[in-house]
Amino acid sequence: MGRPPTFITTPILALTAGLVAGSSQAADLVWARYGDIDSLDPHRATSTLSMQVWDQIYETLLAFDGEGKPQPHIAKSWVVSDDGLDYTFELQEGVLCHDSTPFDANDVKFTVDRAFDESNPSLTKTSWGPISAVEVVDDLTVKFTFESKFGPFLPFLADSFSSMVCDSNDPETFGSSTGIGAGPFKLVEWVKGDTVSLAKNPDYTNYGRPFDNKGPVNVDGLIVKTVPEAQTRLAGLTTGEIHIAEPPFDDIPAIKESGELEIMVAENTGQNVFWEFAISRPPFDDIRARQAVAYATDPELAIDIIYGGLSQREWCPIARGVFGNDQEFCAQYGYPYDPEKAKALLAELGYSTDNPLETTMFVWTGGNRHKLAEIFQNQLSQVGIKVAIEIMDIGTMNARVKEQNETTDETPGTFDMMTWSWYDPDILYALWHSPGAYSGYNTPELDVMLEETRTTIDPEARLEKVQAVIKHLMENAVHVGLYTPGWEWVFAVRPEVSGLKIGAFLHPMFNDVTIKE
Amino acid sequence: MASIAPTTIAENVHGELAGFWLRLVKSPTGLIGLLIVLTLIATALFAVWIAPFDPLQMGAGPRLQPPSAQYWFGTDDFGRDLFSRVVYGARLTLQIGVIAVGISLTSGLLLGLVAGYAGGWTERVLMRLVDVLFSFTEIVIALACLAILGIGLTNAMIAIGIASIPFYARVTHSVVLVEKGKPYFEAGIAAGAGHVRMIFLHLLPNVVPTLIVVGTLGISTAVLAAAGLSFLGLGAQPPEPEWGFMLSSSRDLISRAPWMMIFPGSAIAITVLGFNLLGDGIREVLDPRQVMR
Amino acid sequence: MIRYIIQRVLAALVTIWITTIAVTLLIHAVPGDPVRIMYAKFQSTPEQIEAVRIALGLDQPIYIQYGLYVSRLFQGDLGRSIVGDQPVLDILLTRFPPTLLLATTSLVIAVVIGLSLGFLAAYKRGTVIDVGAMVLAVLGVSIPHFWLGLLLLFFFALQLGWLPVAGSDLRSLILPALTLGLANAAVLARLTRSAMIDIFDQDFVRTARAKGLPKTMVLYRHALRAGLVPIVSMMGLQFAYMMGGAIVVENVFAWNGVGRLAIEAVFARDYPLIQGFILFFATVIVLVSLVIDLLYAVLDPRIRYS
């Protein structure tokens, strides 16, 4: 018979080569996560999954230091006017976008104008503050003008949501298949649901990021893979196909003991997982129903079962390490686990275990949250709330929550285990000042209180304002803190990888990473 | 068949039925199949008494316990008794099988009867449509239905029911074609019998035996399909103790708690085996020489 | 034979054509507003949703929509996926080959094991070997293939560590292909057995043996050839089952094919992707069945000479 004819072998080789072609080179770092980015466009998504990749591709004007304080980066200095309404920034010279065009004040104006574009504004437009104009003074100088004072502006310029987008981006493909920035990595390809392939940016200079490496990264590339199954990620970590990933929570004690992989737990994540409710219609338009849910669930037990000691109970609507967080203060207004109280409240509304309140809980994918949801579902059923669980990716959940708040039909209102991570209590403004990030709860009284948190600059006075907001949110059971951290904060790292740093507010950065042979 | 002429139709049928059961029980496949199916039905009916714990109760025991005297199948990662969950799962399984097959059998039967009887363009168009649906494969049709209806166990049952209609339509159609060629059929047409009479009095009774076999085997297919969809997260939702869903929960814990994977999977396999054997047994009794799938 | 070929090709084309119609209608079966559902994730304004509706042609009467769909089809435009906004065609072209590879490999395994087992059972009819083989086959048919996958994963990957848990290379293909292959081998074994028994009972076999031909020659040349005919005719169906089964098995082994894609699309209500997927899937199956049917025509003398 002899060898099989080439018309058989060639396609087979091509097929198998095609399978392997997507794989990485020897000096690429492979990072596996439970989900994919929603978009390459920093104005069209809000998920941590998306943001962590933007960190690699785009730069921000400022950068957070190790403690989460903003410091100069691409913006090497700035001047604030006496009335606090004008910020003038001087940019570093010689910064290049990935396509070798210069990164200068024009790109800054382009980014901000784009975020404020009336027909298609950025999803995080509010977080920029009340900017009325951006002016290109000269190539290296840009001036922001505000309508009113905005305290959180400088920290925002260090946050990924203010990622600077180069003006040479092609509007047709930007966000879905291209993304040109000035960051340590450049985009090679995004295979949806599978991989984001990044290659080292050889022109990169690290001006202000808190890393030892002041130049281009050491690795040749970064491959960010989507691997939803925790066991598969662990398997990849064991064989060496994956360098960094979140391991299955159940296996963490064993991994720590065996010492095969290093376990890194992020600190200062600024993350907060909380209950929020669709207030537009029954049942959650009534405060008693909301409080019943809060009393009926025991977050401490749940996170203890699922995360061991890796996560903690969080009473406040903002996370530990963020200005305004104070466990004792918040616990006064919080809802400890008390099923009897929950039952009593439900009885007032006419519900009991024989006649349960039926509703749906939204939860987002990953991190064993489906198991957490099952525990809550079980606890709620015991007081007479019958909950169907719907799990979806974070991008979809954001949209569904908004939809639920805007619906006024007859279907029962839903509630969700929502999550946000932010470095400043200004997140409360973004969430709850009308119209609200999700068109949810808002009142004129709360609006005024929130505005005051923005315009008050003196820290002590601001703390009072922030606490007033917290008290209002908690007493009304609108934003009920559950636990922190909540997602992607645990990393298993292969022994040959060193130099991984997890920046404040959960920004894994790879500038110092080296892979030993 | 009875050799001494029975005096009434009822007696005739009774005699035939008795004969049927006797022969079924005599064949090993039929017997084992019947036993398994009866056990399943009994478990479903008497679940409340058989299960020692509430299948939804978290912390009924310590988490992730291996099988023991107290927890016969062990406990899952929420401390729920696995044995109780598997027992209650039998109820869901039976529901799924019956409802899904109910939908597909009745619809497919109607389609096949009409197509086969009408002939001509009606037949060609209808069967061509059936062919198209066939080439989608059942799982794709089920996925499409779920994309439209949304996920959940009820929708999964409907989706599987719809997905199997082509199969039952085809089977019915081929049987009808065979029957059309027989003398009694032509005689009936010649005698001027109406359509309804022909279909329901003549065709249908001859289609029934095949459909019983196919339907029984179909229950096992439906159970497998539903377990598969639940395994993927598209069918049963927490906290329903459906076997396929329980298997998907066991995935992350295969190494630490293999019993979570072994028992629900065995339950599915035994159930499917039972219906397969029963179907095979019935087929042997009704028509030993027919080859179905 | 030419007539047969033309008939089959025409039938295949008609099937594909009807598939395009069915797929266009799919979006209309959705209760509620499909555009709102699809684009919910982007928190679009009502104007943006209207714009999308117009771009997709959903404001037009059905026959125009169908025309639009088909004309775009011929240009290779299958729409864009909702998640990530990539062209559906590109996504499918990337994710289909791994599934094809899995389905084909599994089919080969199923054929090799199933045919041998079935043949053996028929040859040794009535003996312990026959009974044993058929018991195995019945078990194989009853075991859910995703459970078999988990069991194999447990033993070979986790306990013994012989094979990888997941991946995209050839080594990672072994377990999923075995899973799918073994499950279907059982079906094929049963089919082969009954087909072979029929053949052995037929006159021409007995005649050949009466003529004095040694047992092996009879078997291999006449019986096998005759037996292959009904079995090859089943191959199209078997391939379809493989493709369907791959959807679930891919999930167990994180095999990066179109099966996982489809599941995610259903969860995400990504209708353009679902439509493209169904079209692709059905077309692949129809084309493969066509090829197999034509092969069947070559093998079956009754057709060849008609």
Cα three-residue angle C253-C257-C261, rounded to 5 degrees = 100
Query: How much is the mean pLDDT over chain A?
Result: 88
Whether residue B135 is predicted with pLDDT greater than 70 in this model: the reply is: yes
Question: Quick check: C83 contacting B, CB < 8 Å?
Answer: no
Give bridge partners of residue A80 from the DSSP assignment.
A87
B240-249: pLDDT as tens digits? 999 999 999 9
Q: Which residues in A lie closer than 8 A to residue B60 (C-beta atoms)?
A: none
Token pair listed for C186: 């059982």
Residue of C94, C95, C99, C168 to mutate when probing chain A, most A C-beta within 10 A: C168
- Predicted confidence at residue A14, as pLDDT, reads 40
Whether residue A482 is predicted with pLDDT greater than 80 in this model: the reply is: yes
Whether residue C209 is predicted with pLDDT greater than 80 in this model: the reply is: no
Calpha distance A61→C93 (Å, rounded): 40
Q: How confident is the model at residue C221 (pLDDT cuts 50, 70, 90)?
A: low
Token pair listed for B19: 């004969």
CA C47 from centroid of its chain's CA atoms: 42
Distances (CA, A) of A503 to A129, A222, A302, C70: 24, 17, 28, 51
Q: How much of chain A, in percent, has pLDDT values that exceed 70?
A: 95
Give bridge partners of residue A91 from the DSSP assignment.
A75
Cα three-residue angle A116-A120-A124, rounded to 5 degrees = 55
Nearest to C165 among A231, A393, A396 (CB): A231
Q: How many CB pairs under 8 A join B and C?
A: 132
Nearest to C142 among B232, B276, B291 (CB): B276
Which residue's entry shows tokens 């913006």? A75
Which residue's entry shows tokens 């690795």? A219
Calpha distance C188→C118 (Å, rounded): 7
Which range, of A355-364, A426-435, B191-200, C237-246, averages the lowest pLDDT?
A: B191-200
Q: Which residues in A lie closer than 8 A to residue B237 (C-beta atoms)?
A: 388-389
Inter-chain contact C15–B131, Cβ cutoff 8 Å? yes
Residue type (1 letter), A363: V
Inter-chain contact A371–B78, Cβ cutoff 8 Å? yes
Q: Please state the rounded mean pLDDT for residues B217-221.
A: 93
Q: How confident is the model at residue A269 (pLDDT cuts 50, 70, 90)?
A: confident
Calpha distance A504→A498 (Å, rounded): 18
Q: Please state the rounded mean pLDDT for residues B260-284.
A: 93
Q: Which residues in C lie closer than 8 A to residue B277 (C-beta atoms)?
A: 138
Q: How many CB pairs under 8 A join A and C?
A: 77
Token pair listed for B40: 């399943």
CB atoms < 10 A from the CB of A7, how many?
Answer: 7
Calpha distance B159→B139 (Å, rounded): 9
- Predicted confidence at residue B12, as pLDDT, reads 59
Q: Which residues in C lie closer than 8 A to residue B129 (C-beta atoms)?
A: 18
Q: Which residues in B lie closer than 8 A to residue C243 (C-beta atoms)?
A: 137
Calpha distance C54→C64 (Å, rounded): 12
Q: Please state the rounded mean pLDDT for residues C104-113.
A: 93
Calpha distance C218→A386 (Å, rounded): 69
CB neighbour list of residue C23: distance below 8 Å, 6 or more residues apart: C69, C275, C278, C279
Considering only residues C33 and B130, tell me which one the structure prediction assigns the higher pLDDT. Answer: B130
Task: Tell me if residue A276 falls in helix, strand or coil.
Answer: strand
Q: Looking at chain B, how many residues does it have?
A: 293
Whether residue A4 is predicted with pLDDT greater than 60 in this model: the reply is: no
Residue of B140, B155, B277, B287 to mutate when probing chain C, most C C-beta within 10 A: B140
Which range, of A166-175, A228-237, C290-299, averages the lowest pLDDT?
A: C290-299
Question: Quick check: B54 contacting A, CB < 8 Å?
Answer: no
Q: Which residues in A lie closer than 8 A to residue C268 (C-beta atoms)?
A: 392-393, 396
Chain B residue closest to C23 (CA)?
A: B144
Q: Which residues in C lie closer than 8 A to residue B134 (C-beta atoms)?
A: 240
CA B21 from centroid of its chain's CA atoms: 20
Backbone angles phi and psi of B232, in degrees to 5: -80, -5
Calpha distance B38→B42 (Å, rounded): 6
Task: Tell me if residue A504 falls in helix, strand or coil.
Answer: coil
Q: How confident is the model at residue B290 (pLDDT cuts 50, 70, 90)?
A: very low
Residue type (1 letter), C140: G
Calpha distance B29→B280 (Å, rounded): 7
Which range, of B258-262, B269-273, C90-94, C109-113, averages the lowest pLDDT?
A: C90-94
Considering only residues A243 and B252, tell me which one the structure prediction assigns the higher pLDDT. Answer: A243
Question: Quick check: B261 contacting A, CB < 8 Å?
Answer: no
Q: How much of chain B, in percent, has pLDDT values that exceed 70?
A: 92
Which chains are adjacent to chain A, needing at least 3 Cβ pairs under 8 Å?
Answer: B, C
Q: How confident is the model at residue C205 (pLDDT cuts 50, 70, 90)?
A: low
Q: Do the interacting molecules here have an ipTM over 0.95?
A: no
CB B139 within 8 A of CB B196: no
